[in-house]
Structure 1
Amino acid sequence: MFLQSRRRAAAVAAGALALTLGLAACGDDSDPAEGLSANRTGAMESYNVGDQFKATEPVSFSMLYNNHPNYPLKNDWLFWQELTKRTNVTLEPSAVPLSDYEQKRSVLISAGDAPLIIPKTYHPQENAFVSSGAILPVSDYIDLMPNFKDKIAKWNLGPEIDTLRQSDGKYYLLPGLHEKAWQDYSLVIRTDILQEVGLQEPKTWDDVYAMLKAMKAKYPDLYPFTDRYSQPKPTANLWNILGSSYGAPGGWGFNHATWDASAGRYFYTAASPQWRSWVEFLNKLVSEKLLDPESFTQTDDQARSKLATGKSFVITGNAQALVNDYRPDLSKNPAATLKKIPLPIGPAGEVNPAPRTESGVMISSKAKENKNFVAMMQFVDWLFYSDAGQEFARWGIEGTTFVKGASGKPELAPDVNVIGLNPNAPKHLQKDFGFYNGIFAYGGKPELVQSFFSPEEQEYQKVLNARATAPWVVPRRHPSPTRNASRRHCGRPRCATTSTSRPCGSSSGSGRSASGTRT
């Protein structure tokens, strides 16, 4: 009875999903970016790709700020000073602790109190705020953002952008943009313990299971694998990377709809055989006491403490966690060695599950009424999407935080450290200057994204880059309402909101679901 109910629910959800994804939003022919003459105070009259944005008069914008404990916010950071000097913009950050960021963001948006700029939002988190009208349909205003448009065109990111569209054909998140996919998170393993049990580095999840069994046999009183990243979502990273290896990502990567490339259709992710398979694998790890059950509830600090004190040998993480957290945690044990292994291979095959988009920026709908709205969109475009803005946010100021090497590429100044590249340097790029901040510094060309990569991380990326792009990352969707179309018509010769054909712009049938979101 339960299985029948679940199948029926999955079928209804899949049907509704297919209908929603097939809808074309054919509204009127008005251009929202027009009629902004009252909102151009401070905006540059001419602003194009490659231009240095600088407001024509001093302006300030409120911004929600995800306060990272590894480099807590400082008001006197050089980042803020130089940003204002270059752009004539002062940002007013509302700092929220990393652990409370998602909850606080939801509360502020729901109450209508959110700052104008809302960064560090991962798709599909924006879906929750669409139906209320609290956030801006940013796709209506990208003509104000030449660098954003240019990178989408040059890097052929249209298919990825289409995955962000809601049932009205618009998108409400400005994502971080990568020219090449970048998979960062995987398993971090005590390789000295791996040698102790006589095994090679695991290449598949079956190998991981065998490794954990061997570690458990050698150390029966502990859980060999304990994990972090469980607040607010339980084991959000493990569910993501494990689920991706099975073809049905969970955790951070979860979306209700996953594309089945071989069948040419979407399936409901959490009701799929792929999802069930990796959940069963996790259950096996827990039931055999290979995975610490506290992984699903504990804080990051608790998980790190277990690794540091030898109560566990395996954890998930990325390059920064390896260098900034785990190795310093184990510094008192000189025999301990750690490695971030290439993402283990599962039933989905040798795939690189990373998309070319990542967390990005929402804009409060209140911003549209601000007299500086156009200037704000130009500013966001420069800081997050221009080559100059991306280099500034990551590297800082030439002669102070970096120098140009013989190759012409940026290199850290000798007295500045980050990610252990200059371990004895007295200053830190993030903590002391505010650059390479996860709020601002993401996306870009591979040479920029990988510019701080150690040789170890470069080898890791070489393995992942040799793998095929996961087939569900860029699904071949129904024709987009606006793909390859002028903004003045819906991109189809006929609307598809009902079974009958009618000219675009007909007033009946908007194509928007009752909730206004794609679920």
Structure 2
Amino acid sequence: MYRLSRRTAILAAGASMFTLVACDTGPDESESEDLDGNRAGAMADYKVGTQFKATEALSFSILYNNHPSYALKDDWLFWSELTKRTNVKLEPVAVPLSDYEQKRSLLIGAGDAPFIIPKTYHPAENAFVSSGAILPVSEYIDLMPNLKDKIAKWNLKPEMDSLRQQDNNFYLLPGLHEKPWQDYSIAVRTDVLKQLNLETPKTWDDVYTMLKAMKAANPSSYPFSDRFSKPTPGGNLINIVTASWGSFGGWNYQHAKFNDSTKKFEYTGATDAYKQALEYLHKLVAEGLLDPESFTQSDDQARQKLANGKSFVISSNAQTLVNDYRNDLAKTIPSATIAKIPLPIGPAGEINPASRTENGVMISKKARESKNFVAMMQFIDWLYYSDAGQEFAKWGVEGTTFTKDGSGKRSLAPDVNVIGLNPKGTKHLQKDFGFYNGVFAYGGPPELVNGFFSAEEQEVQKQQANRKPVAVQPPAPFTDEEREQATLWETPLKDHVTQMTLKFILGQRPLSEWNAYVAELKAKNSDQYINLVNKAYDRFKKANG
């Protein structure tokens, strides 16, 4: 494993890393000594608000998630302008989106990973910690003044603490949001609501009432036929419904859920909240309101049913509403109207379940030995965490891809389009210029995150922004030995939860057998797993307060 520095040893003994966050943004004395041979090309006076520009021409390798919607081009303005501003050339190692996670694991395992490894979703980094293949990036946070500034200014200590491992370090530099941003919800045919004299549903009970009315008016239909079920069955729907009941499911299934009352973790798939969410979904299926094929069909099949008027409700985010559903309906039912509604409210109350962190960047261990290591960390800090870098990655070059008015409000240039916002534009921000690229553009304050949203989506976000953010789960990091044991338990447990979740929802197994199902989880070591989590939680809390 990567050798612990003096600072890590101190932290592991119980000192908090985030006493540093509130301090000055320059490197401390010990770090200056440690990195004397790694400062080639670095700026001596780099700080918040400084445009990073390497003092000599540099190049860094980066693992590149090649998205099919905007395939990599060498002549993108993004590349040339990035080099112009920073004196850094990125050398992408392109991997198809479909193979990204597998290829990333192979490269890291073989010691061949590029220096910069973005598009990593926590806790994927856990798999690479014990081998020492990736850096404990928290040891070098002093090199990243913009990151430190945003953590302090936006009160992100709980989110960063949740990434910590047993050695008290975190190994992922996550995307940071000032405010939680809940993108996924459901889209509803608003012309059908009008025909039936129904209000836009605000709660999941309202959704049930709406679906009942739609079913009564269209007895042969399934009013709700869903998508986003491959590769995770019910990925979005189970996610947003369980979140509204105060649990985790679907895309966001997590084995352990912290109980604020008992101050202990519980096995998520065995909790009452999880059961109640499944009872709600089962009711929709049993009464013919939710298409049972929702959990197995392709996105195209779900879209076709909506376009042909066989369904009226479907999972959605801001982009799919505009790019998919409205375009589909314009061809088949031109008079139809459809809108994404704010996430319906459930028993957990008016909450915003979205996290303020998202996918982030790992750093290869090899990068630490580079003479340009400090410059690389400054470069990453500028691109991913500075106001100027975030604007550049998302919007591009002022005067070419976007403009600003006197108040600082950004607008796409007249000939540039993205997400259907400027349909007459002949150039595409992502495909033709390389900006708004998921490898580089994420996080930021609401005005940046919401910048490409329509007025309609802005209103949805405004309503959700007033809701209470969900508390971040406390850290419970495993030792290497515990992680090895937990990994052996997690796969069979998750497989069983997934299979039984679908059986309960579809009525293939009665919910009266819930206790038997919980006993099956216990036979697959759910109790031992949670005991391990609570042991790790207690240990970390004792060491760190």
1-structure distance, mates of 2:231, 2:415: 37
Cα distance, 1:513 vs structure 2? 5.1
Tell me, yes or no, if the aligned pair for 1:62 and 1:115 is still in contact at 8 Å.
yes
**Equivalent in the alignment of 1:515:** 483
1-structure distance, mates of 2:306, 2:108: 37
Tell me, yes or no, if the aligned pair for 1:168 and 1:512 is still in contact at 8 Å.
no
Deviating more after overlay: 154-163 vs 33-42: 33-42
> C-alpha root-mean-square deviation of aligned residues, in Å?
2.8
Q: How is 1:22-421 mapped onto 2 (pairs within 5 angstroms)?
A: 25-26=12-13, 35-332=34-331, 333-421=333-421
1-structure distance, mates of 2:347, 2:14: 43
Gaps of at least 5 residues in structure 1 are 1-23, 482-509
**Equivalent in the alignment of 1:446:** 446
Higher fraction of helix: 2
**Equivalent in the alignment of 1:474:** 472
**Alpha carbons of 1:93 and 1:310: their partners in 2 closer, same or farther (altered >3 Å)?**
farther
TM-score scaled by length of structure 1: 0.82
Deviating more after overlay: 227-236 vs 137-146: 227-236
Q: Which amino acid aligns with 2:154?
A: W
Tell me, yes or no, if the aligned pair for 2:222 and 2:291 is still in contact at 8 Å.
yes
The residue matched to 2:257 in structure 1 has which SS? Answer: strand
Q: Which amino acid aligns with 1:210?
A: T
Deviating more after overlay: 186-195 vs 374-383: 186-195
Cα distance, 1:404 vs structure 2? 1.7
Tell me, yes or no, if the aligned pair for 2:130 and 2:480 is still in contact at 8 Å.
no
**Alpha carbons of 1:105 and 1:243: their partners in 2 closer, same or farther (altered >3 Å)?**
farther
Cα distance, 1:469 vs structure 2? 1.8
Q: Which amino acid aligns with 2:149?
A: D
Q: Provide the identity percentage.
A: 68
1-structure distance, mates of 2:284, 2:103: 34
Cα distance, 1:259 vs structure 2? 2.9
Tell me, yes or no, if the aligned pair for 1:99 and 1:231 is still in contact at 8 Å.
no
Q: Which amino acid aligns with 1:443?
A: G
* 1:401-455 deviation digits (Å, cap 9, x = unpaired): 1112132332221222223332212222222211122221211122222222221
The residue matched to 2:213 in structure 1 has which SS? Answer: helix
Tell me, yes or no, if the aligned pair for 1:54 and 1:87 is still in contact at 8 Å.
yes
Cα distance, 1:33 vs structure 2? 7.6
Gaps of at least 5 residues in structure 2 are 1-10, 18-28, 487-531, 534-545
Cα distance, 1:209 vs structure 2? 2.3
2-structure distance, mates of 1:99, 1:292: 28
TM-score scaled by length of structure 2: 0.78
2-structure distance, mates of 1:110, 1:309: 48
**Alpha carbons of 1:393 and 1:340: their partners in 2 closer, same or farther (altered >3 Å)?**
same
Tell me, yes or no, if the aligned pair for 1:234 and 1:251 is still in contact at 8 Å.
yes
Number of aligned residues: 464
Cα distance, 1:360 vs structure 2? 1.4
The residue matched to 2:266 in structure 1 has which SS? Answer: strand
2-structure distance, mates of 1:92, 1:226: 43
Cα distance, 1:337 vs structure 2? 1.0
Q: How is 1:473-512 mapped onto 2 (pairs within 5 angstroms)?
A: 473-475=471-473, 477=474
Runs of 4+ that moved beyond 6 A: 27-33, 516-519
Tell me, yes or no, if the aligned pair for 2:225 and 2:302 is still in contact at 8 Å.
yes
1-structure distance, mates of 2:36, 2:299: 49
Cα distance, 1:36 vs structure 2? 2.9
**Alpha carbons of 1:335 and 1:381: their partners in 2 closer, same or farther (altered >3 Å)?**
same
Cα distance, 1:320 vs structure 2? 1.6
2-structure distance, mates of 1:103, 1:289: 39
Cα distance, 1:456 vs structure 2? 0.6
